[in-house]
Structure 1
Amino acid sequence: METFENLVRAEFAPENTYLNTAGTGLLPARTVAAVRDAVASAATGRPLDMFADVQASRASFARIAGVPVTRVAAGASVAVYSGLVAASLPQGAEVLTAEGDFSSLVNPFHVRGDLKVRSVPLERLAESVGSDTALVAVSSVQSVDGRLADLAALRDATRAHGARLLIDASQSAGWLPVPADDADYVVAVAYKWVLCPRGVAFLIAPADFGGLTPLFAGWAAGEHPWRSTYGPVEELARSARRFDESPALLSYTGARHSLALIEELGTDAVRAHDLALADRFREGLRSLGHEPVPAPGSAIVSVPGLGHRQGEVSRAGVEVSDRAGNLRAAFHLYNTAADVDRLLDVLSG
């Protein structure tokens, strides 16, 4: 525990009570320094080899997820990779989603216009998988209120009916294990719980690529990128790198250091820390007469009817979110019991 606390103390010194990691994570000091150095080098005409940072980030995320690096593609957004999966489906295929799930995950299936997209309550998702279902797309943790999807039940249901499963781990990677064994595809942005700059996202694809076509493949998706810069790419990467977007290099220069910190701390230790704080907040809310959205085992706590107080809470120096009328607080590695008590104190006023 001392090592955990010392690592965190060395990397973070927020000037407010920051409880909005579900919106955007704080950048570690090592990440800020790396991006600053890269910008300075680029300004002097001696840019660093930031492509090496992309490969280091990919490898780090693969270790966090427990998958071979050959299965990880590096991009910038969930919507691009969700769109790639959407493009792989035949006309008329049924896609099952959870009601109110995050738009970047589900909207690409709607805009195709020729898919049958069916939305059901999160709790009924597994039982709603049927013989006509081609794909289930769901966030492992719901952005709006922190509820956890039953991934084991979804894995069993999709396999029983021959459907594929796409999981968005944007709100869980960093404090929950990445559910690579439960899904056919996993996507995640990295600017939340794994504390990277915006512009970093990952796709975990099956070893056989799961029927995906690299529709946006440019030179970076070539097996030999620097020999793939003119004309058609002669050979696509033999790994999931064929699904790479041309990388936002400065973001990846920071990302390798943020991901390294998550590796050093360990997901299990982060989860234990985060959940202890979330449970402390839930208990405090009940003592104030508020009942949070039921989301056991989640680092995100959402309180119905209090979203309108977000501005007031922010003016008091505590950063939370207003999501669908709920006040949403997210507890992560740089938070403390004092942060929880500060928010409870503001809400009691």
Structure 2
Amino acid sequence: MDTTETFAQRVRAEFTPKGAFLNTASNGLLPARGVAALHEAALLRAEGRPLLPLFEDVESCRAGYARLAGVPAHRVAAGASVAAHTGVIAASLPAGAEVLTAEDDFTSVLNPFHVRGDLKVRAVPLERIAESVRPDTALVAVSAVQSADGRLADLRALREAARAHGARTYVDFSQAAGWLPVDADAYDFTATVSFKWLLGPHGAAFLTVPEDFGGLVPVLAGWVAGEAPWDSCYGPVAELAHSARRFDLTHALFTYTALRRSLELIEELGIDAVHAHALTLADRFRTGLAGLGHEPLAAPGSAIVSVPGLGTRQPELSEAGIEVSNRSGNLRAAFHLYNTDADVDRLLEALRG
């Protein structure tokens, strides 16, 4: 495991924010190694050179994310968005199936179930989701960390309740993977985007599935979903991939090229070290808020801190070089590996003023 000094040195070598960037819950920063990889990939296209190395990056990302998520690579599909992955799960449910969700969860986790029109979608408060699983629940779908306010779902209780009632589980790790240790093997399906805590560009997302695919139908399958992709370019795919790659979507090659380097960086630093760093900063911010007379929404153990009533300060903070979000009137600050004590103190000083 890296020492604190080595952790800081490696981070400083990779990131050059112009101000205090505290908005990873919206999108993360690109490391220098990822920017360099993007540049080289663009030159491949510009100069007409073979793109085979970019396809190799996709497989490296699949393997890197699999290690981070705690599943074998053959259970990871490489797609484009959480909404698309949710859509595949929604399309695979029988008519009339009940899907249990958390109130006001992120739209990508919810909307594909609603647009089916013939599913029973039930929403309950996040803290009641485990106790709300019942015998006729077919699927529980929830974000591990809530985008709006950083609250963590009690995934252990949810998993036990779902198992007791025979329900499948679908967890979105978009606001977790990259700072919070995750265990995709504990759930039937999980998904995440790459452009937030995983520090990649937009355009890539991962889906994990069970060994038997959990009854999913690859309704979005194209040529990349074939067992032999380059032999599957014309006509119907004769043989779908024997792995989760049957759920792949056409790859945004530049994105995966940069993401490969970001995943390598996170692995080098160690997810436990990133987790500890992020929580230390979030707790420093919470302590400082108390000194200013502000109380954030309760989200213990989260790297995301949401403060009621301060969201309207976002434009002026941005003008001052401090990037946060306004979510329904709440100021949302997110702390990741490139943030420092100085970033926290700068935000607190600005709020004091």
Q: 1:7 aligns with which of 6, 10, 17?
A: 10
Q: Give the C-alpha shift of residue 178 in structure 1.
A: 2.0
Residues of 1 paired with 2:147 and 2:186: CA distance?
A: 20
Q: 1:234 aligns with which of 209, 232, 238?
A: 238
Q: 1:184 aligns with which of 188, 201, 223?
A: 188
Residues of 1 paired with 2:106 and 2:272: CA distance?
A: 26
Q: Give the C-alpha shift of residue 124 in structure 1.
A: 0.4
Matched, 1:127 2:131: yes
**Pairs within 5 Å for 1:1-349:** 1-49=4-52, 50-349=54-353
Q: Give the C-alpha shift of residue 108 in structure 1.
A: 0.3
Question: What's the secondary structure of 1:91's corresponding residue?
Answer: coil
Q: Give the C-alpha shift of residue 41 in structure 1.
A: 1.7
- Give aligned-pair identity as a percent: 69
Q: Give the C-alpha shift of residue 208 in structure 1.
A: 0.5
Q: Is the 8 A contact 1:141 1:169 kept in 2?
A: yes
- 2:300 partner amino acid: P
Q: Give the C-alpha shift of residue 82 in structure 1.
A: 0.4
Q: Is the 8 A contact 1:179 1:186 kept in 2?
A: no
Q: Which runs of 5+ in 1 are unaligned?
A: none
TM-score by length of 2: 0.98
Q: Is the 8 A contact 2:77 2:247 kept in 1?
A: yes
Q: Give the C-alpha shift of residue 47 in structure 1.
A: 3.9
Residues of 2 paired with 1:257 and 1:184: CA distance?
A: 28
Q: Give the C-alpha shift of residue 40 in structure 1.
A: 1.3
Q: Give the C-alpha shift of residue 207 in structure 1.
A: 0.6
Residues of 2 paired with 1:183 and 1:313: CA distance?
A: 39
Residues of 2 paired with 1:129 and 1:335: CA distance?
A: 38
Q: Give the C-alpha shift of residue 2 in structure 1.
A: 1.8
Count of aligned residue pairs for this structure pair: 349
TM-score by length of 1: 0.99
Per mean C-alpha deviation after superposition, the further-off stretch among 48-57 and 103-112 is 48-57
Question: What's the secondary structure of 2:170's corresponding residue?
Answer: strand
Residues of 2 paired with 1:31 and 1:47: CA distance?
A: 20
Q: Is the 8 A contact 1:38 1:47 kept in 2?
A: no
Q: Give the C-alpha shift of residue 177 in structure 1.
A: 1.6
Q: Give the C-alpha shift of residue 5 in structure 1.
A: 1.1
- 2:184 partner amino acid: A
- 2:36 partner amino acid: A
Q: Give the C-alpha shift of residue 79 in structure 1.
A: 0.3
Q: Give the C-alpha shift of residue 325 in structure 1.
A: 1.1
- 1:339 partner amino acid: D
Residues of 2 paired with 1:296 and 1:47: CA distance?
A: 49
Q: Give the C-alpha shift of residue 181 in structure 1.
A: 3.0
Q: Is the 8 A contact 2:143 2:173 kept in 1?
A: yes
Residues of 2 paired with 1:181 and 1:241: CA distance?
A: 17
Residues of 1 paired with 2:312 and 2:114: CA distance?
A: 31
Residues of 2 paired with 1:104 and 1:55: CA distance?
A: 25
- 2:278 partner amino acid: D
Question: What's the secondary structure of 1:95's corresponding residue?
Answer: strand
Q: Which runs of 5+ in 2 are unaligned?
A: none
Question: What's the secondary structure of 2:185's corresponding residue?
Answer: coil
Q: Deviations over 1:201-250 (max 9, x none)?
A: 00010011000010011110001101111111111000000000010111
